[in-house]
């Protein structure tokens, strides 16, 4: 089943999330697509209440790299789970760059998320400089190895790798379909080398970065793409419900 993950980023107050869900719910009727909404943490509880009884899942955008205690401003995995999240995004490029999250912190976050029975949407992706220096392979490999260090193979069942080239996020630019395909293959190969061939075949990988109503169908059709991670194009519920209709299951 294809996964569509909607990352609201730092957008929408509680009342706006409520209005969004009220508009989206009657327009979403696909049972062959798993939809995960990731609103800001402040709206998880209200979203959980409104989504009760629907097939739509809830995800958080980040979690602390500590389990509890003196981390002013942070939110723990346990707290997110308690608010109704079943997924959490880890290692988004905006957090890697702006908040200087490194591989070690991301690895800790992934382990804490799994401990709290949260499925992890683990983001990786090369910057424009990496791409221009033809370092994409090297960078993706290192990000996967750092992030998944010390995990057992069966824990990969609860990890979705989100391939988001940094230069494609919010830019209106996307890689060519064949470039997406080759990155997906590289990701599978890296997981196969680090774990097993079976793990490489089984791992779920979604694509993110300037996905919109025009390209969602062709990207979701790619064989190795198990879904999409969407930012800007998910923010309007009417537009997003149209996009959801165009996704290839």
**What separation, in Å, do the N-terminal and C-terminal C-alpha atoms of the chain show?**
7
Which residue among 230, 243, 244, 247 contacts ligand 13P (CB under 6 A)? 230
Evaluated on CA atoms 152, 198, 163, 56, the torsion sign reads negative
Q: Is 7 in the site for ligand 13P (CB under 6 A)?
A: yes
- x/- string (CB under 6 A) for ligand 13P, residues 87-106? -----x--------------
Strand 204-208 relative to strand 87-90, pairing: unpaired
Which residue among 102, 104, 133, 170 contacts ligand 13P (CB under 6 A)? 170
Q: Which of the following is catalytic: 19, 164, 179, 204?
A: 164
216: burial class by Cβ within 10 Å (0-12, 13-18, 19+)?
A: buried
Is the Cβ of residue 106 or residue 229 nearer to ligand 13P in the bound state?
A: 229
Least distance from ligand 13P to the Cβ atom of residue 245, Å: 18
Q: Is 174 in the site for ligand 13P (CB under 6 A)?
A: no
How far CA 72 is from CA of 84, 99, 196, in Å, comes to: 22, 15, 40
Q: Is 210 in the site for ligand 13P (CB under 6 A)?
A: yes
18: burial class by Cβ within 10 Å (0-12, 13-18, 19+)?
A: middle
CA distance 120 to 62: 10
Q: Is 43 in the site for ligand 13P (CB under 6 A)?
A: no
Residue 101 catalytic? Answer: no
Is the Cβ of residue 56 or residue 199 nearer to ligand 13P in the bound state?
A: 56
Q: Which of the following is catalytic: 78, 92, 126, 138?
A: 92
Partners of 163 in the β-ladder = 124, 207
Q: What are phi and psi of 88, to 5 degrees?
A: -145, 135
Give the dihedral of Cα atoms 37, 43, 46, 51; nearest 10 deg. 0
Q: Which residue is nearest to ligand 13P (CB)?
A: 231
Least distance from ligand 13P to the Cβ atom of residue 184, Å: 17
Q: Is 208 in the site for ligand 13P (CB under 6 A)?
A: yes
Q: Which stretch binds ligand 13P (CB under 6 A): 109-117, 178-186, 187-195, 223-231?
A: 223-231
Q: Is 211 in the site for ligand 13P (CB under 6 A)?
A: yes
Residue 92 catalytic? Answer: yes
- Residue carrying the six token digits 């957008």: 11
Q: State the catalytic residues.
A: 92, 164
Name the residues that contact ligand 13P, by CB under 6 A. 7, 92, 164, 169-170, 208-211, 229-233
């Amino acid at each position: 089943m294809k996964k569509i993950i909607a990352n609201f980023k730092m957008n929408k107050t509680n009342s706006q999330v409520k209005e969004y869900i009220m508009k989206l719910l009657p327009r979403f009727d696909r049972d062959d697509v798993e939809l995960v909404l990731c609103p800001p943490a402040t709206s998880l509880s209200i979203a959980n209440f409104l989504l009760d009884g629907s097939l739509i899942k809830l995800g958080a955008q980040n979690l602390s790299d500590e389990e509890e205690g003196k981390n002013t401003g942070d939110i723990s995995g346990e707290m997110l789970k308690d608010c109704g999240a079943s997924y959490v995004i880890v290692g988004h490029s905006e957090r890697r760059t702006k908040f200087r999250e490194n591989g070690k912190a991301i690895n800790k976050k992934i382990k804490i998320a799994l401990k709290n029975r949260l499925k992890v949407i683990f983001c990786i992706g090369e910057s424009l400089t990496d791409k221009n220096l033809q370092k994409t392979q090297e960078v993706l490999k290192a990000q996967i190895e750092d992030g998944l260090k010390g995990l057992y193979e069966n824990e990969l069942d609860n990890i979705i790798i989100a391939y988001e080239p940094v230069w494609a996020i919010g830019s209106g630019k996307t890689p060519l379909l064949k470039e997406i395909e080759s990155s997906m293959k590289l990701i599978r190969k890296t997981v196969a080398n680090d774990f097993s061939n079976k793990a490489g075949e089984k791992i779920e990988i979604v694509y993110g970065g300037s996905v919109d109503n025009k390209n969602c169908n062709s990207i979701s059709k790619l064989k190795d793409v198990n879904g999409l991670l969407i930012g800007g194009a998910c923010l309007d519920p009417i537009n997003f419900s149209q996009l959801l209709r165009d996704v290839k299951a």
